[in-house]
Amino acid sequence: MKRYEPPAGWTVQAYRFALDPSDGQVAGLRRNTGAARFAYNHMLRRVGAVKAQRAAEASYGVAEADLTPWQGWSLPDLRRTWNDIKTWVAPWWAECSKEAFNTGLANLSAALGNWQASRTGARKGRRMGWPRTKRKHGRRSARFTTGAIRVDPGYRHVVLPRLGRIRTHESTRKLARRVKAGTATILSATVTETAGRWFCALQVAVKRAVGRPAHTPKAGRIVGVDTGIKHLAVLSTGELVPNPAPLKAALTKLGKAQRRAARRIGPYDPATGRKRNASNRWQRAQETVARLHAVVAAVRADSWHQLTTRLAQQFTTVVVEDLHVAGMVRNRKLARALIDAAPATLRRHLGYKTGWYGSVLHVADRWYPSSKTCSGCQTVKPKLSLAERTFNCTTCGLSLDRDVNAARNLAGLVRHVDLELLGDAKTGRGAYVRPVRPAPAGGAAGRETSRPTHPINAVRQRTAANRESRLLTER
């Protein structure tokens, strides 16, 4: 499926609205999301059955030309097969939108493609297994790409194919005015159910007028941001952004709700392992747990959105670290706190918000010792344990909070860079730059994490150090 490429000066973003559907509309939403799940599961079983049949025939010495025809898993192949069998597999198919079935087929094509790429080594990361079937009580979702998709002129409804006008919980005035002015085009709509509430996310191509960020002399043009656990983020200006820790705050209620849900009669019998009818109390207990998780996710997302929007609007250059979060969470003592803080969200949000507001995002090298380096004299400590929360420099006598010192070092990485070379002065469009890491003092002891040094990397470090010294001398 070809990805949509917006024209020059346009960006693709989403407008997400909470819905207030009627009982009949809720039934229609569940019918379409259930159709997407049914198409996904049926075609997955079909592809798996063909795969197993071909393997069995090959084990008996059947020639390749005589094997059962292979079921392709590209979206056109899956759609062609589904259209041939839907009349007897799903005789109720006419009650749902064709886009609902296409959602399940597109998700299956992507899942099987990822499995094949992981199996052949083309996809990085952990080895992916064979896709699993979607559960009936799992996340409900359906995507609409064709048909009547628009926001109502009254600013209180959205119009979706086969579902009609659905009232929104909040006003759609901002998007409706953009569409009316011709600066926005709705591409698709995705409806999802989260903790008993329905949401509609409209994918929109927007023409944005990017301007330079507003900054004050006190705040400065460059800010370094160090993420943590005790504080959500620490800025080089000295500001400490508090961490709401929503999961930690909800653990007591969440534990009680999960214990209550474990005592209810669920859809599976633990004694026999067979399916059974789930009780209404089990369903209500599961909804309570889901609502608590939804509140935790909403608080966390709101905190990060407020911070990243403010950084992109007020500062010209934002410097963050390239954190290996997947490796950090392997520490079982810090895993829960790290997941609760979600430090990788900072870089992900700033990656597109800096482009919106005309600022520049720098990503420091993963091995740059920002916490071990003194922000005053640039001396690098050989060791710095996590228990030491105050940085004390034995060379210049600087005593500073560990995180503030790291944020200042991040901001100092790009103070010698000409900002006009990083961004387009005419359009104000932001740039994504990974600065060169200066060679740490003391060699390998300056790194925060030990890593073997390759001879080519050593040459690159010396070249970067010479370049930085020349720039500092000229400045």
HEC string of 218-262?
A: CCCCEEEEEECCCEEEEECCCCEEECCCHHHHHHHHHHHHHHHHH
Active site residues: 226, 321, 403
Same structural domain, 344 and 394: yes
Cβ 336 vs Cβ 242: under 8 Å: no
- For position 220, what pLDDT does the model report? 55
N- to C-terminal Cα distance for the chain?
Answer: 51
* Rounded Cα distance, 76 and 86, in Å: 15
Neighbours of 212 (CB within 10 A): 13
Same structural domain, 47 and 155: no
Same structural domain, 257 and 149: no
In a domain, 134, yes or no: no
Q: Domain total for the chain? A: 3
Structural domain of 257? 222-437
In a domain, 463, yes or no: no
Same structural domain, 289 and 266: yes
- For position 434, what pLDDT does the model report? 47
Q: Which residues pair with 392 in a beta bridge?
A: 399
- For position 464, what pLDDT does the model report? 53
Same structural domain, 145 and 51: no
From the list 473, 426, 418, 429, the residue with the least C-alpha distance to 221 is: 418
Same structural domain, 73 and 56: yes
From the list 303, 305, 290, the residue with the least C-alpha distance to 192 is: 290
E strand spans, 354-412? 360-364, 390-392, 399-401
Helix (H, G, I), strand (E, B) or coil at 200: strand
Predicted confidence pLDDT, tens digits, the chain (475 residues):
566 777 777 889 999 999 999 999 999 999 999 999 999 999 999 999 999 999 999 989 888 888 889 999 999 999 999 999 999 999 999 999 999 999 999 999 999 999 999 999 899 888 899 999 998 878 899 999 988 899 998 899 999 999 999 999 999 999 999 999 999 999 999 999 998 899 999 999 998 877 666 655 444 588 999 998 889 999 988 889 999 999 999 999 999 999 999 999 888 888 887 888 889 999 899 999 999 999 999 999 999 999 999 999 989 899 999 888 888 888 888 899 999 999 999 999 999 999 888 889 999 888 888 888 888 888 888 888 888 888 888 888 888 888 888 888 898 888 655 444 344 433 334 444 444 444 444 433 434 443 434 433 443 454 455 555 444 444 4
pTM exceeds 0.85 for this model: no
From the list 204, 157, 199, the residue with the least C-alpha distance to 178 is: 204
Question: What DSSP string describes 20-66?
Answer: ---HHHHHHHHHHHHHHHHHHHHHHHHHHHHHHHHHHHHHTT--GGG
Q: Which two tokens stand for residue 198?
A: 């329905």
Cβ 47 vs Cβ 73: under 8 Å: yes
**Residue matched to tokens 């929104």:** 168
Torsion of CA 324, 327, 331, 337, to 10 degrees: 40
- For position 214, what pLDDT does the model report? 65
- Reading phi first (left if > 0) and then psi (alpha if -120 to 50, else beta), residue 357 is in alpha
In a domain, 453, yes or no: no
* Rounded Cα distance, 132 and 44, in Å: 8
- For position 118, what pLDDT does the model report? 94
The residue from 87, 120, 153 where one domain ends is 120
Same structural domain, 303 and 411: yes
Cβ 235 vs Cβ 225: under 8 Å: yes
φ, ψ of residue 32 to 5 degrees: the values are: -75, -40
Helix (H, G, I), strand (E, B) or coil at 89: helix
Same structural domain, 310 and 430: yes
Q: Which helix (H) or strand (E) holds 106?
A: helix 98-120
φ, ψ of residue 226 to 5 degrees: the values are: -115, 120
- For position 391, what pLDDT does the model report? 84
Same structural domain, 313 and 394: yes
Same structural domain, 354 and 230: yes
- For position 427, what pLDDT does the model report? 39
* Rounded Cα distance, 72 and 97, in Å: 24
In a domain, 469, yes or no: no
* Rounded Cα distance, 243 and 28, in Å: 40
Same structural domain, 166 and 239: no
- For position 423, what pLDDT does the model report? 43
- For position 465, what pLDDT does the model report? 52
Q: Quick one: 378 exposed, middle or buried, by C-beta within 10 A (0-12, 13-18, 19+)?
A: middle
Same structural domain, 241 and 365: yes
Neighbours of 275 (CB within 10 A): 11
Q: Quick one: 232 exposed, middle or buried, by C-beta within 10 A (0-12, 13-18, 19+)?
A: buried
**Residue matched to tokens 């000229």:** 474
In a domain, 255, yes or no: yes
In a domain, 455, yes or no: no
